[in-house]
Amino acid sequence: MNYVLSIVTLAGINMIAVLGLSIFTGFTGLFSFGHAALVGIGAYASAILTYYYFVPFPIALVAGMAASALVSLVIGIPTLRARLRSDYFAIAILGFGEALRVILENLEITNGARGLPGIEPFTTLPIVAGCLAVSVWVASNFLRSRYGAACIAVREDPVAAEMAGINLFRTRLLSLVVSAAFCGLSGGLLAHFLSFIQPVMFTLVQSTALLAAVIAGGMGSITGPLIASFIFIAMPEALRVAQMWRLVAYGLVLVLIMLFRPQGLMGYQELTTFFRRSRNDRPAA
């Protein structure tokens, strides 16, 4: 039972990061191969605070979110202002993520490539469930707000959105910072769940896994990526497949989805819309 609980906890932590990336990729339409590094920044920032400075866990989590958001500004401001082609942006943030990892591997305070062992395991399933619920609530409210509407408009047609008076740079940057904050939260929870973090845990492979969940779940949907990320975490554990076959499957899933169902599992739809529709379909009594 304990094992199942830990898988569910891990899936919940992962879902928060996927939620963040889905705001940036699914709703704003920019692709990122570097969000795992932002998860890493959140993990290291919060772990260092509780490990060396005995900062209370909730404050460390918030600090991790802030650190990720700040770091995302460093890459976001120059690249988004320059309006790179979307694949150039993806490679720029990939390079940024890898550079961050190399820096983490060579800092004194992060204990280098050996990683930080013995972080207090503060993260429990109720905490993760609470964080996830708050995250989903914040994300759906954000997307329903003026800012969220601007993001969706930018995704659908940047030129038309700009004509309508939306500032492309500011909208994209805001979306990046919000998604980075979610990733930071996920990282903080992860560090205090595994109680050990290492720079290699936040590489391109991890970024690809996050992106695979968002794309497989469906662009422009919150529930789709969450379901997909849960499946991605739970399935290999349930089937007891080795890590490398999981990655083989990620690659295959990405290709097959692009070829046959680019809109993903729940493209542009939420789980709730199905319920609503079925209620409306009922004949009037």
CA 142 – CA 200 distance, rounded (Å): 32
First to last CA, the chain: 46
In angstroms, give the least distance from the CB of 161 to another protein: 12
Residues 152-191 that bind another protein (CB under 8 A): 157-159
Tell the smallest beta-carbon distance from residue 157 to another protein (Å): 7
Angle at 60 between CA 56 and CA 66, to 5 degrees: 150
Return d(Cα 67, Cα 181) in angstroms, integer.
Answer: 8
Which of the ranges 49-57, 94-102, 144-152, 165-173 carries the binding residues for another protein, by CB under 8 A? 94-102
Radius of gyration of the chain (CA): 19
Q: List the structure tokens of 67.
A: 């650190």
Answer for which of 5, 102, 107, 109 binds another protein (CB under 8 A) is 102
Q: Which is nearer to another protein, 81 or 144 (CB)?
A: 81
User: Which of the residues 244 through 273 are near another protein (CB under 8 A)?
Assistant: 244-245, 247-248, 250-255, 258-259, 262
CA within 13 Å, CB half, 152: 13
Residues between 3 and 22 with contacts to another protein, criterion CB under 8 A: none
Q: Which of 33, 122, 182, 193 binds another protein (CB under 8 A)?
A: 33
Residue 208 or 269 with smaller CB distance to another protein: 208
Tell which residue, 252, 246, 168, has the closest CA to residue 215: 252
Residue among 211, 222, 233, 265 that touches another protein (CB under 8 A): 211
**Using CB under 8 A, which of 31, 44, 230, 232 touches another protein?**
31
Chain centroid, CA 174 distance in Å: 15
Measure the CA angle with vertex 39, ends 33 and 45; round to 5°: 140
* 85/158 Cα distance (integer angstroms): 12
Q: What token pair was written down for 138?
A: 């914040």
284 scored as a contact of another protein (CB under 8 A): no
The least CB distance from residue 97 to another protein, in Å, is 9
Closer residue to another protein in complex, CB, 8/91: 91
User: Smallest distance, Å, CB 35 to another protein?
Assistant: 14
Q: How far is CA 81 from the centre of its chain?
A: 22
Q: State phi, psi for 117 to the nearest 5 degrees.
A: -95, 160
At closest approach, how far in Å is the CB of 38 from another protein? 16
**Contact positions vs another protein (CB under 8 A):** 31, 33, 75, 78-79, 81-82, 84-88, 90-92, 94-96, 98-99, 102-103, 106, 157-159, 205, 208, 211-212, 215, 242, 244-245, 247-248, 250-255, 258-259, 262
